[in-house]
Amino acid sequence: MSVHVCGAQQARKEGVFDRFVSPWLVHGACSLPPISEQRQKIVPLAEGVVVEFGMGSGLNMPFYDANKVKKLIGIDPSKALMNKAHVTAKTMPFDVDLHIVGAENTPLEDQSVDTVLVTYSFCTIPDNASAVREARRVLKPGGQLLFSEHGLSDKSSTAKWQNRLNSLWGKVAGGCHLNRNVETLLLDEGFDIAEIEKKRMRGVPGLLGFNYRGIAKPR
Ligand SMILES: C[S@@+](CC[C@H](N)C(=O)[O-])C[C@H]1O[C@@H](n2cnc3c(N)ncnc32)[C@H](O)[C@@H]1O
């Protein structure tokens, strides 16, 4: 099976932190067992032509059901993380295209994919409303957006601290937001929520532990 990488030439120049430190921090934090547990529940639902927004180091790849996926397209502006994803992509039993670009500018045709998968990336994508609109544009009628994301807690005392510490956290955690409400984001940008589970993940620090996992469909 083939792997293509696009956009490496145009990718923004990354500093020492982005090239050598951030990939390991992101990969390490995203490999926590409670997060892998969520991946195990959502990723196997992907089918057909699948696009992953914020593919990162490719931690979702081992969870795809190879009998259901025709092709996988990864979108992420981080060249360093996509280099890590490339290593896993070469072992996959289906074709993988990797695009080093932000999801706000997804380089795909309208109505060309069956599934958009987003895990732990709506927190970091700077203009996540644009990214959701791109998801809606590229999805075929009847397609699905699968998501598993940490975000704004339903507990007011936790939400208060998430709001207070959000900007400080963003500075030390590569632009990650603590307080994004993924359900509201999807509803505001033209999706209906077909299924959702919102719950506190055990084993993840409190401010990062409230998880939204589910399936959304273009309205
Ligand atoms: C916390 S990591 C999650 C990675 C991966 N989805 C996972 O579950 O392990 C957040 C990812 O969002 C990516 N990201 C940042 N800005 C983005 C953008 N504009 N479009 C798409 N992805 C973006 C980062 O490069 C990083 O890979």
Using the predicted structure, report yes or no on whether residue 62 has a pLDDT greater than 90.
yes
Residue 28 φ/ψ region, left for φ over 0, alpha for ψ in the -120 to 50 degree band, beta for the rest: alpha
| 137-158 pLDDT per residue, tens | 999 999 999 999 999 999 999 9
> Residue 61 and residue 54: Cα distance in Å, rounded?
13
Using the predicted structure, report yes or no on whether residue 181 has a pLDDT greater than 90.
yes
Secondary-structure class of domain 3-218 per CATH: alpha beta
Q: Domain map of the chain by residue range? A: 3-218
pTM, 2 dp: 0.95
| 48 CA from centroid of ligand 1 (Å) | 22
- 16 pLDDT band (50/70/90 cuts)? low
Residues written for the chain: 219
Q: Output the CA torsion 139→142→143→147 (10° steps).
A: 120
> Using CA positions, which residue lies closest to atom 26 of ligand 1?
56
Closest atom of ligand 1 relative to the 56 alpha carbon: 27
